[in-house]
Amino acid sequence: QLQASGGGLVTAGGSLRLSCAASGRTFSSCMGWFRQAPGKEREFVAAISWSGGITYYADSVKGRFTISRDNAKNTVYLQTNSLKPEDTAVYYCAAAKVLYATTETTKYDYWGQGTLVTVSS
């Protein structure tokens, strides 16, 4: 099971640290964060390889968000800085079928519940 947390209401320019804790099994795979804004399709945000050595980011968050993981704690993090109103969305973490970092949504086969991030202007 994947459980995302850390969302909330923040003003533009603020920061939040999202966490995704895995329980019941160890996700020895690439982990990713996705988001879905109201009325929009789900989109890729960031991904990290099993080793943590490779990361990918969507252009819209590059330089502002940082994905990391602590395999000993079976937890993935998403540090979100300089938040903008357009970052408002439900953020989901997911586990991929592969070890390497991937942006392909079809490679992710296990999804957690989301956490809502609301950025006010």
Residues 6+ apart with CB under 8 A from 72: none
d(CA 88, CA 54): 26
Give the pLDDT means over successive 10-residue stretches in the chain (121 positions).
Answer: 95 98 81 96 96 96 97 95 98 92 92 96 93
> What are the DSSP calls for 27-69, one per residue?
--S-EEEEEE-TTS--EEEEEE-TTS--EEE-TTTTTTEEEEE
Predicted local confidence at residue 107, as pLDDT: 93
Predicted local confidence at residue 28, as pLDDT: 83
Count of CB atoms situated within 10 Å of the CB of 9 = 12
